DNA sequence: TGCGAATGTTCTGTAATGCCGAACTCTATT
DNA sequence: AATAGAGTTCGGCATTACAGAACATTCGCA
């Protein structure tokens, strides 16, 4: 979990608590105190104290008394999550446009907001009857192998991209994932020229994705949108067509955000 | 924020971090470091460290560099919130039933889960065109003045109710709010007999609400549902009718949860 | 029914660290 | 240009979060 934030001014207990939340998020069936202590590191007793503290604030909840008590993410997080998402203005503006885009393309669409270099999903429209791609609210898209990620990353200059890739790495998600920084930089130059980014089975096998950025009144990147579908459904000539559709949709969103 | 959790095993830094999140949730337009320090208590420097830590985990986000930098709830909370809500099984079972209930009554309906004595909202169906009541996901309903809260509280025995009221208080939200513990206990006895709870403008002026609990396969309270509408729309004879509707709907949900 | 293993909970000393206050840098405004 | 106020950095001391062990409970198995 290394990102651009200075390590000097971290408060350890809080960082540990955040890690515990992250592990609880990964565990669908909850965790016991001992499991949390083992997975997140730290002693049983301090883990216990941290969990108690988090629970008293509703950030975690527990079920079962006595032995075998299991901890889960608490429902206060639902409230915070709603508030966090509702604050993102691009979401409300993008969703109607995305519904139209999904109607036209029959592909699932997403809107993301840049946060610390990553694209974080803040809204989605699923194509009816389509395969469910596991793209969830709040999910962080990788900068080097997703339509949303590439679109956002293309906003940075080459040096900033190199630094970003350095800190987050370029894990190979499929055989087609670009793992060479220089080759990705060349792709990003294309993205800037064309106005849209392509993920051709680079994040998941058989999945195709096109993304483009939307801009606010100051011309800054306010977020990105994308459509995702099966590679099977995307013919050769459809690729360019899709790119144009997504770019134009992003343009409409930009216009509504005050960009000319 | 005093609840049943032992104060001895709290880790202070984590508690402070949780408080900061709570204050950020209350501030719609974000807060600066100095504002957070002032409101949440503590020095500027330690508040700064805590915010940095939370930001590095995506639990808060900040906008604006240099002076006047503002902090908000981070989007990681959106992901956690979705996960926390999706784990609540009563939600998925209740939502279809609530849609039917809202269709029939033309009132907004809610489903909540009990957590530490409070009813926490985990799902909602808004009546089309109705006034928007500010009942949000993750919101904690008060035990003494809301349909959901009363329904859940009626599950406890009188002593437990007294202890709960003692720790959370009975704030008067309207002129009709019940602030006398003994009178509330009498009401709760009615709730147990009738099978539904009524909030007659006790939480907000002009707002009427009826709630009932649903039970799991062991007969325990798995959650509660409610319908909410304007007092104006609820005629005298409709009251009993509504109660029956809500109770029957809760029964259907209980049946689907394995209760006989 | 009773034993044992594993779990959650409590306790205590100590090393670490989180907290404060003060100094510093930077920006915006007068 | 000066000042006021913001965010950021630094150093030292008191606090406290941590680990480990002891205790209390529960559950499974014979």
State the pLDDT confidence band at B101, using cuts at 50, 70 and 90. very high
The reported pLDDT for the residue numbered B127 is: 84
Is A225 an interface residue toward B (CB < 8 Å)?
Answer: no
Contact check, Cβ <8 Å, A49/B140 = no
CATH classification number, B7-79, choose in 1.10.10.60, 3.40.50.2000, 1.10.10.10, 3.90.1150.10: 1.10.10.10
Higher pLDDT, B259 or A25: A25
Mean pLDDT (chain B) is 88
The reported pLDDT for the residue numbered B124 is: 87
Helical packing angle, B12-26 and A12-26, nearest 10°: 70
Residue of B nearest to A78 (CA): B81
- Name the residue ranges covered by the structural domains of chain B: 7-79, 88-256
Q: Supply the DSSP symbol for B31.
A: B
CA–CA separation, B161 vs B168, rounded Å?
11
Is B224 an interface residue toward A (CB < 8 Å)?
Answer: no
CA distance B50 to chain A (A): 6
Range 92-131 of A in CB contact (< 8 A) with B:
113, 115-116, 120, 122
> What are the tokens at B1?
């924020």
The reported pLDDT for the residue numbered B172 is: 93
Is B170 an interface residue toward A (CB < 8 Å)?
Answer: no
Integer-rounded Cα radius of gyration of chain B:
20
Out of B52, B83, B88, name the one closest to residue A6 (CB). B52
The reported pLDDT for the residue numbered B69 is: 92
The reported pLDDT for the residue numbered A166 is: 87
Contact check, Cβ <8 Å, B72/A53 = no
CATH classification number, B88-256, choose in 3.20.20.330, 3.40.50.1370, 3.30.450.40, 3.90.105.10: 3.30.450.40
B164-209 pLDDT, tens digit per residue, is: 898 889 999 999 999 999 999 999 999 999 999 999 999 999 899 9
Contact check, Cβ <8 Å, A13/B10 = no
The reported pLDDT for the residue numbered A88 is: 80
The reported pLDDT for the residue numbered B132 is: 65
Q: A59: helix, coil or strand? A: coil
CA–CA separation, B139 vs A146, rounded Å?
35
B37-63 pLDDT, tens digit per residue, is: 999 999 999 999 999 999 999 999 998
The reported pLDDT for the residue numbered B39 is: 93
Q: How many CA atoms lie within 13 A of A196 on its CB side?
A: 22
Count of beta carbons in the 10 Å neighbourhood of residue A241: 13
For chain A, counts of helices (H) and of strands (E): 9, 9
Residue A15 approaches strand D within 7 Å at CB = no
Q: B107: helix, coil or strand? A: coil
Range 13-72 of B in CB contact (< 8 A) with A:
13-15, 17-19, 21-22, 25, 28, 46, 48-50, 52-59, 61, 72
Q: What is the mean pLDDT of residues B75-85?
A: 89
The parts of chain A modelled with pLDDT lower than 70 are 1-8, 129-132, 134, 217-218
The reported pLDDT for the residue numbered B219 is: 76
B113-133 pLDDT, tens digit per residue, is: 988 778 999 888 888 765 667
- Give the CA-to-C1' distance from A48 to C8 in angstroms: 9
Q: What are phi and psi of B83, to 5 degrees?
A: -65, -45
Pick from B13-22, B85-94, B125-134: least confident? B125-134
How far apart, in Å, are the Cα atoms of A73 and each of A30, A46, A237, B217? 8, 18, 46, 23
Q: What is the mean pLDDT of residues B131-151?
A: 85
The reported pLDDT for the residue numbered A8 is: 67
Q: How far is CA A116 from the centre of its chain?
A: 11
Contact check, Cβ <8 Å, A138/B76 = yes
Contacts of B50 in chain A (CB under 8 A): 11, 14
């Amino acid at each position: 979990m290394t990102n651009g934030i200075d390590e000097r001014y971290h408060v350890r207990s809080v960082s540990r608590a955040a890690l515990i939340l992250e592990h609880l998020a990964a565990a669908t069936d909850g965790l016991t105190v001992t499991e949390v202590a083992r997975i997140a590191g730290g002693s049983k007793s301090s883990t216990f104290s941290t969990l108690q503290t988090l629970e008293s604030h509703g950030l975690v909840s527990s079920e079962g008394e006595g032995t075998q008590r299991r901890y889960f993410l608490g429902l206060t997080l639902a409230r915070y999550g709603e508030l966090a998402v509702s604050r993102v203005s691009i979401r409300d503006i993008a969703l109607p446009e995305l519904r139209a885009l999904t109607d036209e393309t029959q592909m699932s669409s997403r809107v993301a907001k840049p946060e610390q270099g990553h694209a974080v999903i803040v809204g989605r429209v699923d194509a009816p009857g389509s395969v469910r791609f596991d793209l969830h609210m709040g999910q962080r898209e990788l900068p080097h192998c997703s339509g949303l990620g590439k679109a956002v990353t293309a906003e940075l200059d080459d040096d900033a991209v190199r630094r970003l890739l350095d800190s987050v790495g370029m894990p190979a998600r499929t055989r087609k994932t670009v793992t060479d920084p220089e080759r990705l930089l060349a792709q990003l130059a294309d993205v800037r020229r064309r106005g849209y980014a392509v993920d051709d089975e680079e994040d998941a096998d058989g999945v195709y994705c096109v993304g483009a950025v939307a801009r606010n009144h100051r011309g800054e990147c306010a977020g990105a949108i994308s459509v995702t579908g099966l590679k099977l459904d995307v013919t050769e000539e459809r690729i360019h067509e899709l790119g144009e559709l997504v770019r134009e949709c992003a343009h409409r969103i930009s216009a509504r955000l005050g960009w000319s």
